[in-house]
Amino acid sequence: MAYKISDACISCGACAAGCPCEAISEGAEQYVIDPDKCCDCGACAAGCPVEAISED
Identify the pLDDT of residue 40.
93
What pLDDT is stored for residue 53 in this prediction?
A: 97
CA-based nearest residue to 32, from 49, 51, 11: 11
φ, ψ (nearest 5 deg) of residue 3: -115, 145
pLDDT in tens, 3-54: 999 999 999 999 999 999 999 999 999 999 999 999 999 999 999 999 999 9
| Domain positions in the chain | 3-55
Q: Please give the pLDDT value at position 44.
A: 97
**What's the CATH number of domain 3-55, 3.30.70.20, 3.30.565.10, 1.10.260.40, 1.10.760.10?**
3.30.70.20
Q: Is 1 exposed, middle or buried (0-12, 13-18, 19+ CB in 10 A)?
A: middle
pTM attached to this predicted model? 0.88
